[in-house]
Amino acid sequence: MTTATPADPDSPILVTGATGKQGGATARRLLTGGWPVRALVRDLAAPAAAALAAAGAQLVRGDFDDPASLPPAFDGTAAVFGIPPVAFGPAGPDTDLEVARGRVLIDAAAAAGIEQVVFSTVASTSTASWAEGKVLIEQYLRDHIALPTVLRPVRFMTNYLSTGAIGVDGIVHGVHRHIFTPHEPMQVIALEDIAEFAALAFADPARFAGRTLELAGDEPTPVEAAAAISEATGIPVRYEQLTDGEAAAFSPMIADTKKRWEAGHRWHADIEALRVIHPGLRTLTDWLTESGAAAIRAHLTDS
């Protein structure tokens, strides 16, 4: 585990999205590694924010829809871990608002004289329209920050813990349902490994400046993943692919993604190359053994 600290040990790393999945994992990883962390949150009293404070993070309130609230959060920080502030409207993802929020984040960092920003977006595929808003934010980052690093993670292993309330993802009544082809590889990543790559970048800014890393730790087929979960938890789980009609009933975006996936437009992280950078990169079995199986068991017992 990387334990180096920033050049100025008194200057914190600002983590945005700190009460969410990637931001929370990164804040905890940095704190464990000895970095001072400042967590940007909208609600200082939220349970997730209180947990970060208890772990040693300094909390500061800020909202990307209120740019005037941001300077105190960015002032005096050594670097920033950023998550694109996703926005949704009545018709689904609001790309314009997401881009506007991302630019506000980057402008605030630039105005504070911060040279290093590690930004985590989303894995790309071989199609050009994989995530329009995030592409625009990434380009803006490169144009305005001296030492930018972009992380593009694939599907989170913790997605197996989602409620499956909309009928896709998660495990419901022993079934995991998704768009993925049952017997073809599906790349996945542990949140802890996204945080580890961020820590590596903060420990060696020059090495990672200007780099874009597609992140994955394993690529089981959905059927293999279900079998691994069954073995690790002792709870029978099987995989079921959504039909075209079911995908279309959820949303045009899900239907289109399924169609592109089946046409071969997949994530393309080079897992072996990533393992050279981070030898401890977790497989799905590693994650299940470490924490995932217990979490899934608890989740299924409570649901």
* Per-residue confidence (pLDDT) for residue 129, from 0 to 100: 54
Measure the CA–CA gap between 272 and 22, rounded to whole angstroms. Answer: 22
* Per-residue confidence (pLDDT) for residue 92, from 0 to 100: 65
* Per-residue confidence (pLDDT) for residue 271, from 0 to 100: 98
* Per-residue confidence (pLDDT) for residue 219, from 0 to 100: 98
* Per-residue confidence (pLDDT) for residue 17, from 0 to 100: 93
Q: What's the number of CA atoms in the CB half-sphere (13 Å) around residue 75?
A: 8
CB 138 within 8 Å of CB 210: no
Helix (H) or strand (E) holding 153: strand 147-153
Q: Which CATH number fits domain 13-302: 3.90.1150.10, 3.40.50.720, 1.10.3720.10, 3.40.190.10?
A: 3.40.50.720
* Per-residue confidence (pLDDT) for residue 85, from 0 to 100: 78
Residue with tokens 């804040």: 27
Three-state DSSP state, 60: strand
* Per-residue confidence (pLDDT) for residue 9, from 0 to 100: 60
* Per-residue confidence (pLDDT) for residue 1, from 0 to 100: 47
Measure the CA–CA gap between 98 and 133, rounded to whole angstroms. Answer: 6
The stretches in the chain having pLDDT less than 70 are: 1-9, 89-92, 127-130, 164-167, 303
Burial code (b: 16+ CB inside 10 Å, e: under 16) for 153-170 equals: bbbbbbebbeebeeebbb
The tokens of 262 are what?
A: 């089946």
The domain limits of the chain are: 13-302
* Per-residue confidence (pLDDT) for residue 285, from 0 to 100: 98
Q: With the CA atoms of 42, 45, 48 and 53 taken in that order, what torsion angle do they form, in degrees rounded to the nearest 10?
A: 100
CB 77 within 8 Å of CB 12: yes
Measure the CA–CA gap between 5 and 121, rounded to whole angstroms. Answer: 24
pLDDT, tens only, 174-190: 999 999 999 999 999 99
